[in-house]
Structure 1
Amino acid sequence: MFPALNLSTSNVSDVDCQRLQELNHRSIKVCIIIVLGVMITLGNVAVLLVISSSVAGWSRNSRYFLLSLTAADSAFGLLVMPLNLWVSLLKDYTEGPDALCHVVAFCNATVYSTCMYTLATISLERYVAVFYPLQYSALMTRRRTLLLIAFAWCFPLALLSPISFPGGIIEVHFSTASLVCNPSYSTNVAYSLSLTCLIFFPCSAVMTYANLRVWCAAKRQRLKLRRYGCALRSRHNVAARVLVPVMAAYYTCWTPCMAAMIYNAVSGSSVPEWVEFVVVWLPTSNGFLNCIFYFWINRNFRRKFHFVLQRLALALCPELADSLGWSNSSTQFVSDVLVDGVHGRSSSVSSTCTLLSLA
């Protein structure tokens, strides 16, 4: 009798330790998600404050595409993360799939897909501007620009709509490993693979081809200008500084997630707990990295952001603005932007277009 009691007590202790370990892991994961969400939200709110008005050196079409990208990235912090954290707090893990989890999974997949399509449309716009500069106005009209943006937002809604229907062809479950409502791709391998073929691979192909062509053209142009003594050796390599980090961040953030999804669909088994957590939430960090690569390395963007801070400080706390000497620098900022407008665009999305059109 006593050995049985000791065995039962040992089993209870093991269960309690396992639950305590799960709670500790869950607390760490929630903290990571919250910190990442705050970083993404603050970064993209700052971007929206700046590009909601004109920025020197950025065309109207570029601003439209970048606003679309910023909105998609902001959805990570304002929609995806709060919804999944809310479900993780409300849902009983012993329960099966429900309508709420289907809706959350649909929002997750839609935002992820929209971000990839938006990045692909930005690469396409850059490619047209570089290789067809004289036809750019005719090819990239305002109507076509808005149609491309609408496609990037609406096509994922239609393509991923089966996820939102409980009892449909895609089952959804809440993953305690990643704290996300995930579609059970293993239940429909053909649909899972078709999603990958219609979203990740086309967007990756467009981005890789367009950015690689632009990078090669910029390199040839730089060598040609240097050969004729028209380029300064100290001038930064704009293409390498913008295009290479953008593509490296894209593949680093998105490839593990797509690989894990294909692995789950084909093998029917899941990856380890922390591996799943990392690969599921890693694409959201691309929403913060986009702020750095597309905006913060742009001199005009930084100057405009500084000007916005000055205006806010003057409106909310004039004493602080006077103590920092911002009250007298606002007018000087406007004249500096007019003078340095062309040079400051060298690290923006349209920077390579300007560099190559000089020849």
Structure 2
Amino acid sequence: RFDCTNVFVRKNVRTRSLELTHRSVKVSIIIALGVMITLGNIAVLLVISSSVAGWSRNSRYFLLSLTAADSAFGLLVMPLNLCVSLVKDYTEGPDALCHVVAFCNATVYSTCMYTLASISLERYIAVFYPLKYSSILTRKRTLLLISFSWCFPPFLLLPILFPDGIIEVHFSTASLVCNPSYSTNVGYSLSLTGFIFFPCSIIMSYANLRVWCAAKRQRLKLRKYDCARRNRHDVASRVLVPVMAAYYTCWTPCMAAMIYNAVSGSSVPEWAEFVVVWLPTSNGFLNCIFYFWINQSFRRKFRLILQRLILALCPKLANILGCCSSSKAQFISGILENNSVHERSSSVSSTCTLLTLSFSSSQETDIRFF
């Protein structure tokens, strides 16, 4: 006699085992991504907390804001969601903890997008209005813009925080994240993308496209007067194109899935949901590469700081590794600090796209990208 009960039990056991395997893989990916983001932004913070040649004061403020927002992915978003996935029973309904975690997730995501848009706006002003840069983007206005990037998202996303509010929140076993149920309020879901994603995307696209076109025109002009520079790398394309490509690759699938969920009322497949939900956090690691490590002054300053740390913590290891002596490190530090005197005060911070005007020995005008 065919025993349907045993077949049903074995099927449930296999399903449960497969779910646990998928969950272990997802947790491993999240932890690895969190470690990469945290270590990368700690290294960035060590450098931009001190002066870097070619980076103005306002640029450092924006970079500190971006580093803080990216660090929140690894230090706040990932630990909170992993803790909820470990302590929460999947059969339980929504609770206050899930609302708090969902509010933190949405706030960090939105702050990161606003900060990226602010950096693009600063770059645009520095390139096209270099003589008016100090009067347009004063220290007070810079701090106000950064404050807006951090204070407006919590105000806009405040309804998510209340358990009995208009937005329902549930824990997703597919993405291991406390997600707002945007399908319960389509108008509010669309307003989030209308106030956050689309405005930031428009600002970034317009500013970076204008800067890229200006760099392209200048590069063509330089080829007519200086044949020796024809083989020089196209730094504008090497920086701006990856920055915008990484932004749209990381954020567009998440926003598209949110709109699809709100309009259709159904969710995407399990692994597709996991990828689109956690893909924006990888932008926090890519920012370290495109905004910082591609900059030569940043890499030089990081090597100097690393040598100082090794000399201070373990002098014997420094001798074994062949690190420079303390006197040589001080000499390099003096060179880096003196180089900052010759840079324009309107230089763009980490994006390596500020066009600075300098005169060569032949009295030819040359626009360079840092």
TM-score (norm 2): 0.92
Aligned to 1:354: 356
Aligned to 1:84: 81
Q: C-alpha displacement at 1:323, in angstroms?
A: 2.1
Q: Secondary structure at the match of 1:264?
A: helix
Contact persistence 1:130–1:352 (CA under 8 A): yes
1:173 matched to 2:164? The reply is: no
Tell me how far apart the structure 1 counterparts of residues 54 and 353 of structure 2 sit (CA, whole Å): 9
Aligned to 1:287: 284
Contact persistence 2:60–2:349 (CA under 8 A): no
Counterpart residue type for residue 158 of structure 2: S
Q: Which moved more, 1:219-228 or 1:183-192?
A: 219-228
Please list the CA deviations of residues 79-112 of structure 1 after superposition, one character each: whole Å capped at 9, or x if unmatched. Answer: 0000000000010100000000000000000000
Aligned to 2:361: none
Q: Secondary structure at the match of 2:170?
A: strand
Aligned to 1:267: 264
Counterpart residue type for residue 139 of structure 1: I
> How many residues were matched structurally?
355
Q: CA RMSD in A?
A: 1.8
Aligned to 1:64: 61
Q: Secondary structure at the match of 1:354?
A: strand
Aligned to 1:318: 315
Aligned to 1:195: 192
**1:111-190 correspondence runs (5 A):** 111-190=108-187
Tell me how far apart the structure 1 counterparts of residues 139 and 81 of structure 2 sit (CA, whole Å): 36
Aligned to 2:93: 96
Tell me how far apart the structure 2 counterparts of residues 351 and 249 of structure 1 sit (CA, whole Å): 16
Contact persistence 2:70–2:284 (CA under 8 A): yes
Could you tell me which runs of 5 or more consecutive residues in structure 2 were left unpaired when the two chains were aligned. Answer: 359-364
TM-score (norm 1): 0.95
Bigger fraction of residues in helix: 1
Tell me how far apart the structure 2 counterparts of residues 230 and 154 of structure 1 sit (CA, whole Å): 50
Contact persistence 1:88–1:179 (CA under 8 A): yes
Counterpart residue type for residue 352 of structure 1: L
Aligned to 1:331: 330
Tell me how far apart the structure 1 counterparts of residues 265 and 205 of structure 2 sit (CA, whole Å): 30
Q: C-alpha displacement at 1:238, in angstroms?
A: 1.6
Q: C-alpha displacement at 1:294, in angstroms?
A: 0.5
Please list the CA deviations of residues 154-197 of structure 1 after superposition, one character each: whole Å capped at 9, or x if unmatched. Answer: 00010001000001000000000000000000000000000011
Counterpart residue type for residue 150 of structure 2: W
Counterpart residue type for residue 142 of structure 1: R
Q: Which moved more, 1:307-316 or 1:175-184?
A: 307-316
Q: Which moved more, 1:248-257 or 1:323-332?
A: 323-332
Q: Secondary structure at the match of 2:171?
A: strand
Contact persistence 1:238–1:352 (CA under 8 A): no
Aligned to 2:247: 250
Counterpart residue type for residue 109 of structure 1: A
Q: C-alpha displacement at 1:336, in angstroms?
A: 4.2
Contact persistence 2:222–2:366 (CA under 8 A): no
Q: C-alpha displacement at 1:49, in angstroms?
A: 0.6
Identity score, percent: 75
Tell me how far apart the structure 1 counterparts of residues 79 and 348 of structure 2 sit (CA, whole Å): 37
Contact persistence 1:346–1:354 (CA under 8 A): no
Q: 4+ residue runs of structure 1 moved beyond 6 angstroms? A: none
Please list the CA deviations of residues 50-69 of structure 1 after superposition, one character each: whole Å capped at 9, or x if unmatched. Answer: 10011111000110001100
Aligned to 1:204: 201
Q: Secondary structure at the match of 1:199?
A: helix
Evaluate the alpha carbon distance shift between residue 124 and residue 20 of structure 1 in structure 2; reply closer, same or farther with a 3 A threshold: same
Q: Secondary structure at the match of 1:174?
A: strand
Q: Secondary structure at the match of 1:181?
A: strand
Contact persistence 2:123–2:353 (CA under 8 A): no
Q: C-alpha displacement at 1:353, in angstroms?
A: 2.7
Tell me how far apart the structure 2 counterparts of residues 191 and 90 of structure 1 sit (CA, whole Å): 30
Aligned to 2:44: 47
Q: C-alpha displacement at 1:331, in angstroms?
A: 2.8
Aligned to 2:273: 276
